[in-house]
Chains A and B, each alone.
Chain A
Amino acid sequence: MGKTLFHKVWEDHTVRTLPNGQTQLFIGTHLIHEVTSPQAFGMLRELGLKVKYPQRTFATVDHIVPTNEMAEPYSDPLAQAMIQALRDNTKEFGVTFFDTNTGKQGVVHIVGPEQGITQPGTTIACGDSHTATHGAFGAIAFGIGTSQVRDVLATQTMALSPLKVRRINVSGKLGPGVYAKDVILHIIRLLGVGGGKGYAYEYGGEVFDNFSMEERMTVCNMSIEGGARCGYVNPDAKTFEYLKGRPYSPQGADWDAAVEKWASYASDADAEYDDVFNIDAADIKPTVTWGITPGQAVFIDENLPLLDELDSADRATAQEAYEYMSLNPGEPIRGTKIDVAFLGSCTNGRLSDFEEAAKYLKGHKVAPGVKAIVVPGSQVVAKIAEAKGLDKVFTEAGFEWRGAGCSMCLAMNPDKLQGNQLCASSSNRNFKGRQGSPTGRTVLMSPVMVMAAAIKGEISDAREVFGVQVATVGVEGA
């Protein structure tokens, strides 16, 4: 029987079995940011410990940076204190910091890949639950808490219980106007927000083979929203192509050896999985959430579920969601008025997201009364997008073009919903209060769907708004 990538990476990184049965796992790459690291450095100081492999930790600042006011000191003294603490800590402990003046700052899960730090066959940890994003490269990447950030800083290891592996195959071809975001929202809808508990998700099949690295990242990013501890795609030629020539990628003679090694980590053809789940791409349509968990989602042309259509275990949360969202069972989600449109985040804040969105937005205007913002995931993304003139497409349509950061994905910077505003968002969480107002409402969707909502001022089917041909399944070539 062959092995999965997960098992190969786990074996190569195992230091020992701990008395409680957990594995002490070596963490090859550690990413940190300003929110979950200061307490960890504080604990190191208290214990008189050093960072064991400072060259294996990389820092950036993302959650708290205001994306419309880049000059320091920030008007929020707490935000200023946090960025300063990261500067001081990385300096004292000898850790590389992609500060705001380096041209490399951005959301940690966008910076790692674009710098070539994220590599196949490695273990990655970061004090942030969307660390699974890095799994797109065939890395095993864990979101961790602050005590574990401390553990990794002090020992470059952490204690973990082994996971089962669920292979998720998406076969066939996605229809026009259906994106990676729809794939992962669909997966979570089917398997549930707790369905991945105890699992690593291995994504594969024709759809993933055809996906770009950025699309793979979008899916892996939301693994945690399905309850999985990590998610990954096996490395292939596209992975290597993406990494070639990046600042931290192996260079020169080391490159070929690295590629050979990376390829060897891919799951064997006869690998054994604890579970296999198959999805047909043709069944997936543009998907939006309607509730307060990412699993509460429908296709854009569906009506919202009636309570008695739902699993009895899901009804109470659904009821709560309907009340919170001011939506009604049985009604369409299409046509729901929006107040804010947000394109950005570590799910959909990369260049290809902006290119695809701009392609459709061009020549349109944001509906009156809608606040619309685009936030590049990193300074690198911003620079390339500006060089391509994408920023102009957005601003001409009525979007604000911002600096790099997490922005309205969560409420740790000045970008917040007000009152019960409803936001069409390309981010990953629609939890109550997630976007900064305790009564604010979030509807998750793909970047192109955010564009459609922004233009129409209501949740819309982007395929109709932009006249994208909807192929009738099955008649192709008939």
Chain B
Amino acid sequence: MAALEKIKQVSGRAVPVPGDDVDTDRIIPARFMKCVTFDGLGEYAFFDVRYDGEGNKKKHPLNEERYEGATIMLVGNNFGCGSSREHAPQSLHKFGVRAIIGLSFAEIFFGNSTTLGMPCVTVSEDTLHLLTQAVESHPESALTINLEKMEIDCGGNTFPCELPPAAREGLLAGEWDALALLLKDQQDIEAVADKLHYV
């Protein structure tokens, strides 16, 4: 397998997507999952949040011109809960998102995002509040998430952020997609299979 990029930092402009418990049905409504590839999912990210029944744009930060091209999302608690669909992080990734800063993430969503090389870092409520304010008043300036220092740089101010060690090390080492590691030394896999009662 081709070597993966070592992800040490993510820089870009940010967009706040407020609310807690934003589920993956909201990130990518199920009707758009009728597909056999992930291509094209980007345009459906948050579709029902962005458009009304007639296809008109609703009032939402993701529709605001000043946030266009943002690559970092600011989110609340338990982001990505619900369905395990990888279509959700895939659609965000294809929409252009490269990292998410939030209060907390649902586990399957977190894992799926990490496997795409899209870090989901957590911050305190105070930090989120300050970052959101900064982004709202200066949507044109970039944030930088530094995974080596576990810091977010916002206009010269730095804020601490967190990422579970397994995800952090995987991203820093360019091993965020586990498949290459899992494929190694297959005799060890077979040894476990052989001693299980049912395989």
A residues with a Cβ closer than 8 A to B are: 12-16, 18-22, 24, 26, 28, 35-36, 38-39, 42, 47, 49, 52-53, 56, 63-64, 76, 78-79, 81-82, 85, 119, 121-122, 127-129, 131, 143-148, 150-151, 154-159, 161, 193-194, 197-198, 224-225, 227, 229, 250, 257-258, 261, 292-293, 313-314, 316-317, 320, 410-412, 429, 431-434, 436, 438-439
Q: Give A53 to B38 CA distance when docked, in angstroms.
A: 26
Q: Which residues of A contact B23 (CB under 8 A)?
A: 293, 429, 431-432
Cβ of A292 to closest chain B Cβ, rounded Å: 8
Q: When the two chains form their complex, are residues A154 and B183 in contact, meaning their CB atoms are under 8 A apart?
A: yes
User: Per-residue 0/1 for B176-193: is the Cβ within 8 Å of any A Cβ (1 yes, 0 no)?
Assistant: 011101110110110011
Query: What are 28 A-B residue pairs whose CB atoms fall within 8 Å in the complex?
Result: A13-B196, A19-B169, A20-B165, A20-B170, A22-B178, A24-B189, A28-B196, A63-B30, A122-B198, A129-B84, A145-B112, A147-B179, A161-B166, A197-B78, A197-B104, A224-B108, A261-B197, A313-B77, A320-B19, A410-B30, A412-B30, A412-B31, A412-B33, A429-B23, A431-B23, A432-B25, A433-B26, A433-B29
Give the docked Cα–Cα distance between A128 and B83 (Å).
Answer: 7
Chain A residue numbers with a CB within 8 Å of B165 are 20-21
Which A residues are CB-close (under 8 A) to B57? none
A224 to B178, CA, bound (A): 23
Q: How far is the CB of B43 from chain A (nearest CB, A)?
A: 16
Residues of A near B3 (CB, < 8 A) are none
CB distance B48 to A432 under 8 Å? yes
Report the separation of the CA atoms of residues A227 and B83 in the bound assembly, to the nearest whole angstrom.
11
Pick the contact of A157: B34, B53, B189, B197 (CB < 8 A).
B189
Chain A residues in 8 Å Cβ range of B166 = 20-22, 161
Q: Are B198 and A28 in contact (CB under 8 A)?
A: yes
Is the pair B36, A155 in contact by a Cβ cutoff of 8 Å?
no
Q: How far is the CA of A197 from the CA of B78 in the complex (A)?
A: 9
Q: Which residues of A contact B87 (CB under 8 A)?
A: 146
Q: Are A158 and B199 in contact (CB under 8 A)?
A: no
> Does the CB pair B34–A78 fall under 8 Å?
yes
Q: Which 3 A-B pairs have the closest CB atoms?
A: A145-B86, A145-B112, A159-B178
Inter-chain CB contacts under 8 Å: number: 211
Using C-beta atoms within 8 Å of the partner chain, give the interface range for chain B.
35 or more
In the complex, which of the residues A19, A35, A49, A229 contacts B175, with contact meaning CB atoms closer than 8 Å?
A: A19
Known: A145-B111, A194-B104, A317-B19. A85 touches B86 (CB 8 A): no
Determine which residue in B33, B87, B112 has the highest number of CB atoms from chain A within 10 A of its CB, and name it.
B33
- Check A161/B169 contact, CB under 8 A, given A129-B84, A227-B106: no
* B178 touching A15, Cβ below 8 Å: no
B81 interface residue per 8 A CB criterion? yes
Q: How far is the CB of A160 from chain B (nearest CB, A)?
A: 8
* Cβ distance A143 to chain B, nearest Cβ, rounded Å: 4
Nearest residue in A to B18 (C-beta to C-beta)? A316
Least distance between A461 CB and chain B CB atoms (Å): 28
Closest to B29 in A: A433
A412 contact set on B, CB distance < 8 A: 30-31, 33-34
Chain A residues with Cβ under 8 A from B104's Cβ? 194, 197
- Knowing A313-B77, A316-B20, A433-B26, say if A145 contacts B85 (CB, 8 Å): yes
Query: Min CB distance, B87 to chain A, in Å?
Result: 8
How far in angstroms is the closest Cβ of chain B from A6?
15
**Residues of B contacting A224 in the complex (Cβ-Cβ under 8 angstroms):** 82, 84, 108
A439 to B164, CA, bound (A): 36
CA distance A439 to B51 in the complex (A): 12
Tell me the smallest distance from the CB of B95 to a CB of chain A, in Å.
Answer: 17
Q: Do A36 and B21 contact each other (CB < 8 Å), given the known contacts A19-B173, A21-B166, A197-B107?
A: no
Among B35, B164, B192, find the residue whose CB has the most chain A CB atoms closer than 10 A: B192
- Report if B56 contacts A (CB, 8 A): no
Residues of chain A within 8 A (CB-CB) of B1 are: 47
Residues of B within 8 A of A159 (CB): 178, 181-182
Chain A residues with CB below 8 A from B21, complex form? 193-194, 292-293, 317
A24–B84 CB distance below 8 A:
no
